[in-house]
Amino acid sequence: MIVSTICTSPPIAVDALDRDFTRADIQFLGLDHSGASFEGRVFLNNPGADGSTGKTAASGYAGSFHIFGHGGCFGDEGHCEVRPRRTYDPRPAHHLTPAAKTVIATEAVSAALASGAQALTVTVVPVVTSLTEKCGPGDVLRFELVRIVTYR
């Protein structure tokens, strides 16, 4: 098992979360998927999580998401640069437009809030599943924003 650089979010305040929810999601926005393929194992309030941490409620495990990476750039210079498009451009988005992933984490968020946590941290352990000669296992996890959303 190859574990890439682990990422832990800054504390996310729970004050704004509706406590009477029926579903809670952890959303990752702006995910880069240009490199290696990996499983992102998501843990709440466990900044020490690593590749050997069990996927159990006791360890704060909330779920996983998977990235099918592009394996690095095989084209000419500038080939993999994502250029913005006009709002009503009918062409499909660039193949490397940043992705979004949602982990349904109702039980994990409920347990963390029930424990009296005043803030939540999200730790993602990226377990690399596929490499190419154009990408290595380091720093495969890159995203713009992580947030917790609750629904009634």
- The answer to the question of residue 119 being in a domain is yes
Q: What residues are paired with 130 via a beta bridge?
A: 37
- The answer to the question of residue 78 being in a domain is no
Query: Is the entire prediction scored with pTM above 0.75?
Result: yes
- The answer to the question of residue 16 being in a domain is yes
- The answer to the question of residue 122 being in a domain is yes
Per residue in 122-135, pLDDT tens? 999 999 988 877 77
- The answer to the question of residue 146 being in a domain is yes
The C-alpha atoms of residue 37 and residue 67 are separated, in whole angstroms, by 5
**Domain range for residue 42?**
2-73+96-151
CB atoms within 10 A of CB 89: 9
- The answer to the question of residue 85 being in a domain is no
Cα dihedral angle (53, 142, 63, 128), rounded to 10 degrees? -60
Which band of pLDDT confidence, cut at 50, 70 and 90, is reported for residue 145?
very high
The total domain count for the chain is 1
Six-digit token string for 73? 């750039």
- The answer to the question of residue 31 being in a domain is yes
Q: What is the pLDDT of residue 44?
A: 97
- The answer to the question of residue 17 being in a domain is yes
Per residue in 61-93, pLDDT tens? 999 999 987 666 666 676 667 778 888 989 887
